[in-house]
Amino acid sequence: MSRVLIDTDILINFLRGDEKTEEILGNLSQEHDALCSAITVGEILAGMRPQEKQKTYLLLKSLEVIPVTFEIAEQAGIWKFQFKSKSLELDDCLIAATCSLSADQLLTENKKHYPMKEVSFYS
């Protein structure tokens, strides 16, 4: 079974009740292992509304969370330096590195945040 890393924007859309995102994640979970980065967990919790706490934790606990390892941080740092003219955020570089080292594809609505050729996208 292939592994798909789910980006923060997708999980936020799901938590906010976006029907298209709910359908995409439902289909994905039938054929792929769903993962997220520890960075995504931090981003989600930083923006969580109090009334979303229960739903948020249920969602996050349903995913395999990939920790930031030395190798992930190293690759993210390389990309942050390499793509500095594109003003990429370090968190996106960490998520991209997590994907390239731990998953087959990335599910995101922000492909422009991930110009790295090593990142392939789930469609």
- Please write the tens of the pLDDT for every residue from 27-84: 998 899 999 999 999 999 999 989 989 999 999 999 999 999 999 999 999 999 998 8
Three-class DSSP category at 32:
strand
Domain contains 67: yes
Domain contains 119: no
Give pLDDT, residue 29.
84
pLDDT tens-digit series, residues 8-20: 999 999 999 999 9
Give pLDDT, residue 115.
94
Domain contains 122: no
Rounded Cα gap, residues 32 and 72, in angstroms: 22
Helix H or strand E segment including 55: helix 53-61
Domain contains 118: no
Domain contains 120: no
Q: Residue 11 maps to which CATH number?
A: 3.40.50.1010
Give pLDDT, residue 24.
93
pLDDT tens-digit series, residues 87-105: 899 999 999 999 999 989 9
Residue range of the domain that includes 85: 2-113
Domain contains 123: no
Give pLDDT, residue 85.
76
Count how many domains the chain has: 1
Domain contains 85: yes
Domain contains 121: no
pTM equals 0.93
